[in-house]
Structure 1
Amino acid sequence: MRLALILTAIAFAVLSCGRGTPPPQQVEAKAFLRTTSPAVIYPAFGDADPHDWDGRHPGYYPVHGLDVSRWQGPIDWRKAKASGVSFVFIKATEGGDVADPMFDDHRRGAQAAGVPWGAYHYYYFCRPAHEQARWFIKNVPKGADLPHVLDMEWTPHSKTCRLRPDGAKVRAEAKRFLDILERHYGRRPIVYTTVDFHADTDIDRLRGTEFWLRSVAGHPRKVYPKASWRFWQYTGTGLVPGVQGRVDINTFNGQPETWARWKAGG
């Protein structure tokens, strides 16, 4: 009897020593279990410059993703997806004559790994909206999983365009760009913006438009009072498996069931 107990203890110790960390869940709607605890934080990406969040943590929201450009270089999309990346917005174009040289590589890699993708355009106010929309359409094929994105923010460090039109002009240009892309791709793009641009232009007055807000030092409901949002960019210094160096991380405003419906266009 004593010998049996000793052997059992040894076997348990061997199994315990060999136990690895459980693999991460796949971030798809079917992979989530219902929970009543808002304290569960998933996924837990690293951050090179973490913020001490006051109030609701980004991890309260279960669906997270990236936005990337040429500066991230090649990405191991399968590894990124396995770590908890549920979507990606990929830079495609800016202005009326600049295309991101990594766009096709990122798009094809995300598609092959099963990571839902959309593309974004960085807007400059030195070209009319219709020219920039046509440039985007020329470089971005149909077939994206997500709506595309109009990135509108001030460009004070640009060498070629630092114009700052008034709010009425900004909103008119944005509407024209969004209308053109909606007619071509069949789904209205999202507008990405920053705190100062949002305050200066009242861009949220655009009707029928969803917003992706940047706020790396506070929850959007504190930083953008009364603003509605679909995505929240909560860090620009994220560390994600499969991505070289720092990367922007975002969260979707909703639970997995809502994400599945929204992604499908519902």
Structure 2
Amino acid sequence: MVSPHHVVKIATALSAVALTASVAVAPAYALQDIAIEDAVAQSGSVTADNGVVMQSDDQSDDQTGGQQSQDSMPDNPNAKLPDNVSDEISDDATVISEDLAVTPEGEVKNIETGEIVTDPTLVGTKDQQPDPLAKTNGESFIPVSAEDVKNAVADANVQLSKFESNEYGAHWGTYNNTKAFFDYQNNLFVQQAKGVIDVSEWQGDIDWAKAKADGVEGAIIRLGYGEGNNADKKAQRNISECKRLGIPFGIYWYSYADTPALAKEEGADVVAKLKQFGVNPSDLAYPVYYDLEKWTWEGHQPPTDPNVYNNIVNNWYSALQSAGYKNLGVYSYTSYLQGPLKHADIYAKTTWVAQYGARMGFDSFPTNSRGWQYTSTGKVDGISGNVDMNAFGNKEYESLINLLWVVRDEDIAVGASVNAPYTDLEYKWQSYNVNTGKWKTIANWNSANWAGWSDDVGTYWLHLEVRDAASKTSVGEKTIAFAYVPGSKRINATYAGWQSKDVLLGVSSDNAQGRYKIKIYDVNKQQWVAGFNGQWAVWEKPSKGIYWTHFELYTSNGKLVETKTYAFGV
């Protein structure tokens, strides 16, 4: 038995957004962004602190005093936990069954897909209440907050299980409902974060499938060092495996340059080996990093003048850029950046920093995206021994998916720009007709980020899903409400005039391929009494009365674009 305060009142009307559309105004526009950007964060046990969810080492029992199964719903040990929770399910929604949640506005949605549920056996009608047990197939279910379910899913998925705090308290957690990394005082370093490892031949033959399954979401692969040396012995294998498994990767090159001339040679060596191993600029989800550290090399001394280092960096950059590799960065550690590398131009290129401490000491990151190498003693399945661990992400929240559109003559081209560390993406476009309640696939999964959308005039939801082409891992999805009018061509003139006892009717538009219909509605009889195809028609000898003359414009493939209606007295 569920106590009264658990009872959820569900609105039965489909009213996700209140929209109005006029076909006489702008042809298409986004009315409201109804997506909640990307990702339920993955974390271990969590505790809340000032709105931030942090990783904790302690595992407490649930409120009943017993240990709940990791795969069951909170407060409902016999109800299976979903594999994921859609971004469309807000934290303040209430989960009411294994697969349904109700929003504060009363909309019932599928937990995993976020689609609004309209089945009257589940949500009822305006005149008929649904059986409350229909949602659970007759089983009892205690409603629970969506936030609790999301946290339970995160715990059950155990992603980044080995990406734990470093020795000094820097730790993983969540922020803005995304995975995040914090320093020991809970100051945010990055949100929308990814757990990334950097590797070399010293990690041996890595079982990349196991590493990915253990939470590795990216890799920075050593290609080599200095100039004139062999490539890293495992670079080719590591690159090939990351490509095969769809693991986003970047490259790093350790520098021994003490002069700008040697830096240029190092850059040429990097380019040669990238091409040797088949790494195109488009393959790189993370930059090619120039690793600048205080090195030891018999008979040589590393530079100490930041101006010399700046010329070294510029020459290396020039060699890479001239070969088409534009996604570049500098890697170093805080003390070196505050010494020999202390130059504004070098800081403007530094996006990855090592700091094995409680906090990040470098505070001059030039871009919103950045990486913190926070430990060198990480443990990951598939790698024997230690491995460097990094948190890469954004300081400020960035929309991962942005929708674009261009109104063409007879349809609308819809497109997307995606900010995600994947080199090859696939897209699926759908539209939902708010009036008819039907979904339509505009373009099924393919590599094109643009699609032609052809529909009748009306109010729709435009929905896009994006995934990694290699691994089929979901990158995210976005939905916007859209007042759709197909194309940019409109009715520009209508005519109704007497010819003796008949009425000549006409309509024109600026669409040379347009198709037309003309109709007559008898107001007294309340019915259509005549209809014609084409731009011109003769309405023969109409009887006395009040009528509507109605003109319709269609695209060449039969999609309604616009209507015009006028009163006509006889």
**Shorter-normalised TM-score: what interval?**
0.7 to 0.9
Q: Could you tell me which runs of 5 or more consecutive residues in structure 1 were left unpaired when the two chains were aligned.
A: 1-15
145, 148, 172: which one aligns with 2:311 = 172
Change (3 A) 1:152 1:33: farther
For normalisation by structure 1, the TM-score amounts to: 0.75
Selected match of 1:111 from 238, 243, 247? 243
The alpha carbon displacement at 1:179 in A equals 2.1
Counterparts of 1:154 and 1:207, CA distance in 2: 17
Distance in 1 separating the partners of 2:353 and 2:201: 22
Using the TM superposition, give the Cα deviation of residue 100 of structure 1 relative to its aligned residue in structure 2, in angstroms: 0.9
Whichever residue aligns with residue 51 of structure 1, its letter is Y
Larger radius of gyration: 2
Contact 1:152 1:192 in 2 (8 A): yes
| CA–CA distance in structure 1, aligned partners of residues 347 and 169 of structure 2 | 34
Correspondence 1:238 to 2:238: no
Match of residue 189, structure 1, among 324, 328, 337 = 328
Matches within 5 A, 1:131-142: 131-141=265-275, 142=279
Give the deviation of 1:45 after TM superposition.
Answer: 1.5
Q: Which deviates more from structure 2 when the two are superposed, residues 40-49 or residues 76-85?
A: 40-49
Within the candidate set 211, 216, 228, 1:85 is matched to 216
Report the equivalent of 1:8: none
Within 2, Cα distance between the matches of 1:34 and 1:231? 29
Greater fraction of residues in helix = 1
For residue 43 of structure 1, what is the aligned residue in structure 2?
A: 160
Alignment of structure 1 residues 1-266 onto 2, 5 Å: 43-45=160-162, 50-53=167-170, 54-56=184-186, 62-98=193-229, 99-126=231-258, 128-141=262-275, 142-143=279-280, 144-146=283-285, 147-155=287-295, 157-159=296-298, 161-200=300-339, 201-206=341-346, 209-220=349-360, 223-228=361-366, 230-254=370-394, 258=400, 261=419, 263=421
Change (3 A) 1:224 1:32: farther
Residues 206-260 of structure 1, C-alpha deviation per residue, up to 9 Å, x if partnerless?
Answer: 375241011110332xx11444461111111100111111000111122695596
Kindly indicate whether the alpha-carbon contact (under 8 Å) linking 1:69 and 1:100 is maintained by their aligned counterparts in 2: yes
Distance change >3 Å, CA 236–CA 187, structure 1 → 2: same
Higher strand share: 2
Letter of the 2:356 partner, please give it: V
2:129 match = none
How many pairs does the alignment contain? 241
SS of residue matched to 1:120: strand
Q: 1:75 to 1:214 in 2, by over 3 A?
A: same
| Structure-2-length-normalised TM-score | 0.37
Q: Percent identity?
A: 20
Structure 1 distance, partners of 2:88, 2:209, is: 19
User: Larger relative contact order (C-alpha < 8 A, sep ≥ 6)?
Assistant: 1
CA distance in 1, matches of 2:263, 2:90: 44
Q: Determine the C-alpha separation between the residues in 2 that align with 1:93 and 1:126.
A: 17
